[in-house]
Amino acid sequence: MEPSTTGTEPQTFIVKTIAGLEQVLAAEIEELGGANIQVLTRAVSFEGDKRMLYKANYCLRTAQRILMPIFTFQMADEDDLYNQITAYPWENYLTLQKTLAVDAVSSDSELTHTHYIAQRTKDAIVDRFRLISNGRRPSVDTENPHVRINIHIRGSICDVSVDSSGASLHKRGYRVSNAEAPMSEVLAAGLIMLSGWKHDCNFIDPMCGSGTLVIEAAMIANNFPAGMYRKEFGFMHWPDFDRDLWNEVTKEAMDRQTEFEFQIMGSDISTKNLASARANVKSARLHKDITLSVNPFSALQPPAGDPGIIIINPPYGERIRLGDIIGLYKSIGNTLKQEFAGYQAWVISSDQRALSMIGLRPTAKLPVFNGPLECRFEHFDLYKGSKRGRYMEGENPGEDGRDYTKKEDKPDWRSKDAPEGDFDSLDPKPRDFKAREIKPRSEYSERKSTRFDSKEGENTERRQPRRERDSSDSEYKSKEFKPREYKPREESSDTVFIPREKREFNNDDRKSDRPARDDRYNKGDRPERRKVEKIKLKPITRIEERDEYLHPKKIITDVNSEYPDFQNTTEVPVAPVVQADSAPEREPSKGNKFTEQRDYKIMRTRELRPRKAKPEESEPAKPKARPESKLSKPEPKAPKAPVNYDDLED
């Protein structure tokens, strides 16, 4: 469905805002003349024509963007998204000479990557222009495009809208300098409107920073439209833009200006921040309405006259780090209590612990978001003395108009008009005494079991207490005391007392195995132990195959002929000879070629190499002297002969 381009038929618009300012935005739209207003999550929808669209962009203070939905479809995956976007006639908003940008938001959908959704949407729009314009396409500009498209996916429903604002509406156009951690213009205007200030008293911002709060307060006090400093909006690049209607809307908004007769004061402890505030105030041409000064909050004096309103945006400890943030908030509470009695104070902060250190009881706590930070906008009603004394004096009745000093619903027992002894007439609600009805228990009524009931449940009759029954019938009869007969112990019995020193502590289970103490032999009479002969193993050689080990091919008989070099040696390495009959049936382990037969078992041993026998008269070999290292220069390499490529064969 294509949107109306004539401006006469009503169209649905969606206005985005900050979380916590939806009700304020809805009140603004209602004041401008919007219809069918619905409050959404961080947004408000309404119906209106083209004139209403221009007024909303020009006058709304708490709006960030105003979107115009153009069509909605149901999708399953990114291919459905591409096909539906390609089928829409984008020639109604775009030309080849204009630029575009795509913003995407996704929730509860399979497509979670918003950047991919924006890229896919851009490709679909560009490919459509390639088909209808012989390969030509519009360009992309993410900073300042002519047409900005918004994609909102929730589940399987995709809403496609066109942004009528262009750049975000919080960019008023007067900011030329920034301080540290500046506040958004939309949030500043929303806080002022949440405070209920009707520009009928003084306005003070003791921590103004770059001056956002005081500038927005001056614009509200003089009834200046929020977009009076902007030169461009997104709808100005649409093909159906009506210049005459736009001029008429702006002229009507500027004609509703009013005069402000009170003071707007801003101060800050930093000279750098105050320099930025002065530059922004001068850019907004509001230097005659706003007074700025360099002062700490503790040294600030309220202006003369009736009390007004004070809004404070102190550091939260997030973007601006402080050494003693608790001390700062305590000083804020002390200054408010001592110097600004009678004022209505509002403080915004994301540090709940620091807010509690102000020491004043808040009368309202409003949740708002400052960027990603969840904050509380708290209201403090400042007055002299205590709250109880304030109500007892009767100077300031409550907000509902009731005078809490008079309590008509309760009689005044201490008044002189009360007759002596006649207090019944003063009691507004006399009570009638009603005796409690006693209901007789029926014979078969249920009752709780007691300890006198039998456990088996057979005897359900309640037993009588023992004091009412005869003691002879009691089941708890006392037994007669009979003293124990004394039997003297015999000396020959086993139970004769034996002192601890004379007891023999033996293991009963091993008493039969041990010989008697008298039958044990002395140290010299002990029999000799068996001597185990230590057999010196001869070295073995490497065995390649098992057959060679079991059936040796050659048996050495003549050692001198076989080993001529070891004629003078006493020991000759001889390979062990194993008979085939005595060979074990077990095969040697795989992967181990070094085995030895011992006690008819094949054992694993480490590799043993035969040693060469040393001659008897041979002298011990002297260690060779280490040659002295001499430093010498490396010989230069001869240069390689050049290669003649003509001699090489193909």
Sequence spans of domains, the chain: 11-163, 185-224+256-388
At 408, the pLDDT band (50, 70, 90 cuts) reads very low
At 600, the pLDDT band (50, 70, 90 cuts) reads very low
Residues 6+ apart with CB under 8 A from 101: 140, 141, 142, 145, 147, 148, 149
Res 83 pLDDT > 70? yes
Q: What is the pLDDT of residues 176-206, one digit of tens each?
A: 988 877 899 999 999 999 999 998 899 999 9
User: In this structure, what token pair is assigned to residue 325?
Assistant: 């943030």
At 108, the pLDDT band (50, 70, 90 cuts) reads confident
At 601, the pLDDT band (50, 70, 90 cuts) reads very low
CA 454 to chain centre: 62
Q: What is the pLDDT of residue 185?
A: 94
Give the residue, 410 or 498, on which the prediction is more confident. 498
Exposure pattern of 207-238 as b/e (b: 16+ CB <10 Å)? bbbbbbbbbbbbbbbebbbbbbbbeebbbebb
At 596, the pLDDT band (50, 70, 90 cuts) reads very low
From CA 133, how far away is CA 127, in angstroms rounded?
10
Give the residue, 581 or 220, on which the prediction is more confident. 220
Give the residue, 397 or 71, on which the prediction is more confident. 71
Percent residues over pLDDT 70 in the chain = 57
Please state, in angstroms and as integers, the Cα–Cα distance from residue 208 to each residue in 20, 111, 219, 330, following that order: 22, 43, 16, 19
Give the lowest-confidence range in 51-55, 375-379, 558-562.
558-562
Residues 31 and 60: beta-carbon distance below 8 Å: no
Q: What is the pLDDT of residue 402?
A: 46
Detail the DSSP E strand segments found in 241-342. 264-268, 290-294, 309-312
From CA 284, how far away is CA 219, in angstroms rounded?
9
> For strand 11-16 and strand 43-48, is the pairing parallel, antiparallel, or unpaired?
antiparallel
Mean pLDDT of 100-113: 90
Q: Does domain 11-163 have CATH number 3.30.2130.30?
A: yes
> What count of other Cβ atoms lies within 10 Å of the Cβ of residue 463?
13
User: In this structure, what token pair is assigned to residue 231?
Assistant: 């030169």
From CA 7, how far away is CA 48, in angstroms rounded?
9
Give the lowest-confidence range in 33-47, 225-239, 605-619.
605-619
Give the lowest-confidence range in 451-465, 515-529, 616-630.
451-465
Residues 357 and 329: beta-carbon distance below 8 Å: yes
From CA 293, how far away is CA 272, in angstroms rounded?
12
Please state, in angstroms and as integers, the Cα–Cα distance from residue 519 to each residue in 507, 515, 516, following that order: 18, 6, 5
At 430, the pLDDT band (50, 70, 90 cuts) reads low
Res 561 pLDDT > 70? no
Q: Which residues pair with 375 in a beta bridge?
A: 368
Residues 6+ apart with CB under 8 A from 336: 310, 343, 345, 358, 360, 380, 382
Give the residue, 281 or 607, on which the prediction is more confident. 281
Give the residue, 639 or 192, on which the prediction is more confident. 192
At 620, the pLDDT band (50, 70, 90 cuts) reads low
At 398, the pLDDT band (50, 70, 90 cuts) reads very low
Task: Kindly state the helix (H) or strand (E) to which residue 125 belongs, with its residue range.
Answer: helix 114-132
- Using DSSP's 3-state secondary structure scheme, residue 157 falls into strand
Give the residue, 402 or 74, on which the prediction is more confident. 74
Q: What is the pLDDT of residue 481?
A: 63
Res 428 pLDDT > 70? no
Q: What is the pLDDT of residue 404?
A: 42
Give the lowest-confidence range in 157-171, 233-247, 268-282, 578-592.
578-592
Residues 6+ apart with CB under 8 A from 228: 58, 250, 253, 254
Give the lowest-confidence range in 126-135, 325-334, 486-495.
486-495
Residues 201 and 309: beta-carbon distance below 8 Å: yes
From CA 74, how far away is CA 153, in angstroms rounded?
9
Percent residues over pLDDT 90 in the chain = 43
Q: Model-level pTM?
A: 0.60
- Classify domain 185-224+256-388 by CATH number: 3.40.50.150
Res 31 pLDDT > 60? yes
Q: What is the pLDDT of residue 492?
A: 53
Q: What is the pLDDT of residue 485?
A: 72
For residue 14, which amino acid is it?
I
Residues 6+ apart with CB under 8 A from 172: 185, 226, 227, 229, 230
Give the residue, 114 or 490, on which the prediction is more confident. 114
Mean pLDDT of 301-326: 83
Interhelix angle for 78-87 vs 114-132, to 10°? 40
From CA 394, how far away is CA 199, in angstroms rounded?
28
Res 153 pLDDT > 90? yes
From CA 284, how far away is CA 396, in angstroms rounded?
39
At 277, the pLDDT band (50, 70, 90 cuts) reads very high
Most confident of 244-248, 297-301, 489-493, 549-553: 244-248
Give the lowest-confidence range in 80-94, 200-214, 471-485, 503-517.
503-517
Residues 370 and 341: beta-carbon distance below 8 Å: no
> For strand 65-74 and strand 99-107, is the pairing parallel, antiparallel, or unpaired?
unpaired
Residues 348 and 370: beta-carbon distance below 8 Å: yes
Res 20 pLDDT > 70? yes
From CA 320, how far away is CA 370, in angstroms rounded?
14
Average pLDDT of every residue of the chain: 76
